[in-house]
């Protein structure tokens, strides 16, 4: 996350990066563990205040626009919902940004699992709060406000993974997030001459939000049936009490939390082979359990291999021509 010096009393600019989740899928809304990292690409929002309540927005990368009343933003679909929702949620929190001319620019692909919506909302909040002359809330409170936009204006009952990963991301590190107490720990992401690749699987799903909400509901049902507040409190020996789908949901979360902790320890001792094996195990479980069709949407994530072992472009790959890791510079 980066905010820029205010250019004048009524001009503000902010940047928020996208994120990739190294390991820890569908754990955030189950009070579990996740290990994401921020990437160099992100969303920049520039906002200039204007008299009155009119808000004009230009999404530069899409060449699309929107206009609405800052005091009464109406529901709408697509990226515009995040802008209008940011105004509405800020007003509910006691911060009332006035009319503005807003420019949005992004080099994040949309809809492939790198959290472009969370980055957009965070950048909007930071710029609008600055424009209103207010101090930004502490990170967890800010993340919750952004989450509220996703839930109330897009209907996605998301956890806090995307927002916290963007807020806490720094160069050369992953971020261990414990969603039971929302504690955050930096973990070194030293690739030892390997290259970290994120590949677009090319999958698109118009029902992604509905599928995500269904999975969250199934996890809640599983926790309730085994007498736990959430799946962080469930045990493998409880799974015999659950029907097949709910048992698979719970088994994944319980196992995934363990894999996250093992991945953290492996990164700390620079054992990338162990990290790769854990990624393979995590995504093999995902392929068996995320979608009825058996496919995991979003970036393709595979294992960690040494030189010559993964010529097909798997996630970690020894560079032959460059002596240093090829990572996008984070801001």
**Rounded to the nearest 5°, which phi and psi values hold at 7?**
-75, -30
Residue 287 neighbours by CB under 8 Å, 6+ apart: 294, 295, 296
Q: Which residues lie across from 48 on neighbouring strands?
A: 11, 101
Residue with tokens 């801001």: 331
Let me know if 66 is a catalytic residue: no
Catalytic residue among 61, 69, 107, 162: 162
Nearest to 244 by CA among 225, 268, 260, 262: 225
Q: What angle do CA 212, 215, 218 make, to 5 degrees?
A: 155
Residue with tokens 């990338």: 272
Query: In whole angstroms, what is the distance from residue 219 CA to residue 104 CA?
Result: 36
Residue 12 neighbours by CB under 8 Å, 6+ apart: 3, 4, 6, 46, 47, 126, 127, 128, 130, 131
Q: What H or E segment, with its residue span, contains residue 67?
A: strand 64-69
Which tokens sit at 109?
């692909």
Residue numbers annotated as active site: 162
């Amino acid at each position: 996350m980066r905010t820029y010096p205010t250019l004048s009393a009524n001009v503000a600019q902010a940047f928020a990066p996208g994120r990739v989740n190294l390991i820890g899928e569908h754990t955030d809304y189950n009070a579990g563990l996740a290990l994401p990292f921020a990437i160099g690409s992100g969303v920049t929002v520039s906002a200039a205040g204007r008299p009155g309540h009119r808000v004009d927005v230009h999404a530069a990368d899409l060449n699309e626009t929107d206009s609405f009343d800052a005091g009464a933003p109406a529901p709408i679909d697509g990226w515009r919902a995040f802008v209008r929702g940011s105004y509405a949620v800020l007003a509910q929190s006691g911060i009332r940004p006035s009319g503005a001319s807003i420019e949005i620019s992004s080099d994040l692909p949309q809809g492939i699992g790198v959290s472009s919506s969370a980055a957009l909302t965070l950048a909007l909040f930071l710029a609008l709060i600055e424009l209103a002359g207010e101090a930004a809330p502490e990170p967890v409170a800010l993340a919750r406000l952004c989450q509220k936009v996703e839930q109330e204006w897009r209907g996605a009952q998301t956890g806090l993974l995307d927002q916290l990963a963007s807020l806490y991301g720094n160069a050369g590190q992953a971020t261990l997030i414990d969603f039971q107490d929302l504690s955050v720990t930096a973990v070194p992401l030293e690739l030892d001459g390997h290259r970290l690749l994120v590949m677009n699987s090319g999958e698109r799903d118009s029902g992604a939000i509905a599928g995500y909400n269904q999975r969250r509901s199934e996890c809640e049902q599983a926790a309730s049936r085994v007498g736990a507040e959430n799946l962080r409190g469930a045990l493998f020996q409880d799974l015999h009490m659950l029907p097949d789908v709910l048992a698979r949901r719970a088994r994944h979360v319980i196992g995934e939390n363990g894999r996250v902790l093992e991945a953290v320890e492996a990164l700390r001792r620079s054992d990338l082979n162990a990290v790769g094996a854990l990624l393979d195990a995590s995504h093999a479980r995902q392929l068996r359990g995320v979608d009825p069709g058996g496919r995991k949407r979003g970036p393709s994530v595979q294992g960690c291999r040494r030189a010559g072992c993964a010529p097909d472009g798997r996630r970690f790959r020894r560079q032959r021509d460059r002596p240093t890791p090829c990572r996008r510079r984070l801001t």
